[in-house]
Amino acid sequence: MSTYDRAYFDRWYRATRTRVFTRAEIERRVRFVLDAAEQVIERPVRSVLDVCCGEGHWQPVIKRLRPRASYAGVDVSEYAIERFGRRRNLRLGRFGDLGMLGLEGPYDLIVCAGALYYIDTSELARGLRAIGTLLEGVAFLEIFTEHDDLTGNVGDIRRRSAEEYDRLMREAGLRHLGLHLWVGEERAEGMTEFELGRR
């Protein structure tokens, strides 16, 4: 089990040889997700919840690109919260406890990047149900199945089938748009069949 201390973030986010994303790659992802969310909600994103946010790497980019949008991050790393909590509006919390943290939703955009496969299934189900309740716009929830190749910290991952993820997302009231993007059932009612990722 990984310890999410400074050494962890140095290794996976700063060290040139082992980092999973460069700053340019993070910015490209943030731009894509903001633009996609705004295409769906048909207005600028005003509120963002970043779950399993680590040090809150998305926050400075969102602040620069959408200065009027509020940002809140949640993570289990005491180090990240102590170091960046006040500056980036991060709070301590587990994924499965999202519904009990007093978060001020609903949110136009909810992000959970590169983390769902570290969470055990019962906690994942609780957190996804909370996301379904807190979400008003679009969620960017990266899902990698047992058949996908992963890089980075792969020692702690839980391999799940696409069918298991489909079930968990359905139970949470989330509908797939493609490219790791999800909407709630109410928003899905106004979308076309192929916007909803029909196969």
What digits encode the pLDDT tens for the residues 67-84? 999 999 999 999 999 999
If one counts every other C-beta atom within 10 angstroms of the C-beta of residue 151, the result is 7
pTM, to two decimals: 0.90
Domains of the chain and CATH, by start: 24-188 (3.40.50.150)
What digits encode the pLDDT tens for the residues 94-150? 999 999 999 988 999 999 998 999 899 999 999 999 999 999 999 999 998 888 876
Residues in the chain: 199
- Helix (H), strand (E) at residue 123: helix 121-134
Q: According to the model, what pLDDT value does residue 2 have? A: 67
